[in-house]
């Protein structure tokens, strides 16, 4: 879910920069089903509210993946988003 939240936030920020945030938010919500609007809001708000804990969790997940010797591309990207959110908040 943290990776999904990072993708939603990235998309919404890009859409905001081009004046298409409302359109993209509606598109994402539609894909997520009947509660899509609420899911999008929880993904975005929850990410900002819990960024510190989630950044730590993703850092730990990177360690597990490194120990396992498995790819970590999405986890690394999600961690980077959370670290950026924390840096911007400071």
Domain boundaries, the chain: 2-89
Task: Tell me the average pLDDT across 4-16.
Answer: 96
pLDDT tens-digit map of 80-90: 999 999 999 98
Task: Tell me the average pLDDT across 17-33.
Answer: 98
Distances (CA, A) of 55 to 18, 40, 48, 51, 87: 28, 19, 11, 6, 11
Cα–Cα dist 67/56, whole Å: 17
Provide the pLDDT for residue 90.
85
Task: Tell me the average pLDDT across 44-71.
Answer: 97
- Check: pTM over 0.85? Answer yes or no: yes
State the architecture of 2-89 in CATH terms.
Orthogonal Bundle (1.10)
Cα–Cα dist 5/43, whole Å: 5
Task: Tell me the average pLDDT across 11-17.
Answer: 97
């Amino acid at each position: 879910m943290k990776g999904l939240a990072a993708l939603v936030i990235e998309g919404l920020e890009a859409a905001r920069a081009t004046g298409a945030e409302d359109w993209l938010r509606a598109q994402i919500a539609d894909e997520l089903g009947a509660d899509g609007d609420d899911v999008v809001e929880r993904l975005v708000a929850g990410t900002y509210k819990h960024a510190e804990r989630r950044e730590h969790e993703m850092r730990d997940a990177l360690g597990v993946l490194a120990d396992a010797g498995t790819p970590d591309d999405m986890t690394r990207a999600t961690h980077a988003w959370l670290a950026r959110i924390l840096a911007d908040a400071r």
